[in-house]
């Protein structure tokens, strides 16, 4: 059975279809999924504009009820939808279920925000004039989401878009379409205008490019790679379309000589290898004080070797497969590159043969690395961690900041002065103290610096900056008689 696109308020087939297979077991066909055509994209954009005007006129509580219903259903179905997510994306089942539940929380959070859209007022510098400042919907928002968090990332974009009165045209990653269909199926049953939310599955170079080039799109929210993001920005500027982009990263976790080493190793293992390293917040650079370097590496390697790699749906699996053959090949190419750069591979970094055919890879730890190696400059998106020795705190901070990216940075220390100085001087959008670099909350801003992010922050109240436009009204009421 073909899974359909949701175009202009109707489930319809496309111009072609693709297969979606389980990366844990390639014999498991998750489904076939329609690929939208350019004509369908035009039709859904026209309908989205009409639906947006109708949705913006809904009462606040009516909007709130819609978002609350979506969020509650997602949380109630976290087991079912999390299983589907893990089956198609490859992350362990506990992570899949957790992602769906968190996605539901984005909707319930923004359901509450529907009632908190409070503006400002002021007196004019001119007599007898009052000023009213409020936020209004930006219009029709194109959402382009990645495969590594197929439900959560899309939800933290769709939920605020709807909260603030916008229409949504969503192009999910073609590697993980099943989770997209499941989410839109929930949304489609709510009390919303026809065509308010559209699902246009298709290749990024075809349907995605047409979407970002369209003058009927008022804003684009994108999460993905730096090159694709720059291409989107170049297309968007032709129409002066508003953009918000979360892109690559090369996050560092600094381990100081006063750190609790067992805690540091636990944080490093989770941050570097959670989700098979396929997180924009993963800590692939481990910046370690030379005073504890050997001890830390010994414990880290033992921990990496002990991690259970297996089928995403099997009990006890800590690392599932990577998402695709292309991703696996890119990961293995970085292992080869590391050898040519002089890094020493202490464990892992190899393709694994398992009872089911899939894209399995053992977590790898490199030592003897320097911050100028390509493996420490480029985002690998792999279960690979590189240890960089440093002589002290100042050098550690310098190495952490010596990157083109700036999404998250972490430090493990029991020294309050170091922790405070690091928190204030790490050049990243998110800073973690004695916590993994991966793992953020949904009610506060998320985003980075440099090549990691461009445009307004995501999540929390900060999302209003992107999903709304400000109107300042001046009112002269005259003199009462």
- Angle in degrees, CA 170, 171, 176, rounded to 5: 115
Least Cα distance to 319 among 281, 270, 282 occurs for 270
Strands (E), 145-258: 167-171, 197-199, 219-223, 242-246, 252-255
In 322-460, DSSP assigns E strands to 344-347, 364-367, 384-390, 408-412, 430-433, 453-454
Token pair of 116, please?
């908190």
Pick the catalytic residue from 95, 113, 246, 458: 246
Whose tokens are 């100042």? That residue is 394
Strands (E), 125-218: 129-137, 140-144, 167-171, 197-199
- Residue 398 has phi, psi (to 5 degrees) of -60, -45
Secondary structure percentages of the chain, helix, strand, coil, to 5: 40, 25, 35
Alpha-carbon distance 141 to 241, whole Å?
10
Catalytic: which of 88, 89, 99, 280?
A: 280
Kindly report the CA angle at 74 between 69 and 78, in degrees rounded to 5?
155
Instruction: Dig out the tokens for 221 from the structure.
Output: 């929210």
The answer to whether 17 is a known catalytic residue is no
Asked about 386 being catalytic, the answer comes back as no
Burial category of 349 from C-beta neighbours within 10 Å (exposed 0-12, middle 13-18, buried 19 and up)? buried
Q: What secondary structure letter does DSSP report for 458?
A: B
Tokens 């730890």 belong to residue: 365
User: What is the C-alpha to C-alpha distance for residues 110 and 252, in angstroms, rounded to an integer?
Assistant: 31
Residues catalogued as catalytic: 246, 280
């Amino acid at each position: 059975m073909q899974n359909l696109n949701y175009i202009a308020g109707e489930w319809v087939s496309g111009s072609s279809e693709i297969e979606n297979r389980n990366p844990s077991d390639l014999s498991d066909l998750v489904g076939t999924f329609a690929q939208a055509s350019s004509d369908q994209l035009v039709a859904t954009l026209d309908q989205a504009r009409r639906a947006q005007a109708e949705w913006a006129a809904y009462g606040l509580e009516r909007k709130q009820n819609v978002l609350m219903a979506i969020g509650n259903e997602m949380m109630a179905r976290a087991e079912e939808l999390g299983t589907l997510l893990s089956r198609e994306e490859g992350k362990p089942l506990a992570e899949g279920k957790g992602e769906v539940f968190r996605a539901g929380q984005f909707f319930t959070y923004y359901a509450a925000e529907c009632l908190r859209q409070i503006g400002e007022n002021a007196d004019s510098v001119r007599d007898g004039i009052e000023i009213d400042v409020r936020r209004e919907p930006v219009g029709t928002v194109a959402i382009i989401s990645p495969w590594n968090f197929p439900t959560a990332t899309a939800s933290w974009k769709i939920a605020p878009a709807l909260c603030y009165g916008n229409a949504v045209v969503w192009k999910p990653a073609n590697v993980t379409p099943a989770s997209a269909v499941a989410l839109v199926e929930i949304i489609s049953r709510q009390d919303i205008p026809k065509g308010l939310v559209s699902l246009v599955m298709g290749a990024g170079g075809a349907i995605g490019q047409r979407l970002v080039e369209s003058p009927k799109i008022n804003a684009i929210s994108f999460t993905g790679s730096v090159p694709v993001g720059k291409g989107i920005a170049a297309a968007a500027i032709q129409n002066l379309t508003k953009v918000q982009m979360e892109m690559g990263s090369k996050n560092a976790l600094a381990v100081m000589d006063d750190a609790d080493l067992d805690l540091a190793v636990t944080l490093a293992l989770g941050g570097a290898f959670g989700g098979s390293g396929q997180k924009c917040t993963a800590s692939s650079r481990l910046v370690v004080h030379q005073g504890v370097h050997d001890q830390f590496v010994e414990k880290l390697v033992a921990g990496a070797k002990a991690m259970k790699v297996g089928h995403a749906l099997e009990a006890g699996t800590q690392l599932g497969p990577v998402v695709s053959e292309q991703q696996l090949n890119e990961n293995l190419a970085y292992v080869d590159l590391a050898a040519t750069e002089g890094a020493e591979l202490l464990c892992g970094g190899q393709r694994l043969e398992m009872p089911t055919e899939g894209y399995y890879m053992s977590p790898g730890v490199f030592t003897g690395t320097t911050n100028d190696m390509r493996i420490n400059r480029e985002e690998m998106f792999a279960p690979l961690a590189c240890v960089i020795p440093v002589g002290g705190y100042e050098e550690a901070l310098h190495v952490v900041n010596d990157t083109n990216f700036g999404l998250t940075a972490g430090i493990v220390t029991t020294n309050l002065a170091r922790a405070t100085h690091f928190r204030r001087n790490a050049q990243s959008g998110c800073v973690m103290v004695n916590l993994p670099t991966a793992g953020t909350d949904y009610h506060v801003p998320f985003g980075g610096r440099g090549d990691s992010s461009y445009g307004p922050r995501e999540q929390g109240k900060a999302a209003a900056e992107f999903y709304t436009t400000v109107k300042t009204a001046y009112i002269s009421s005259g003199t009462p008689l």
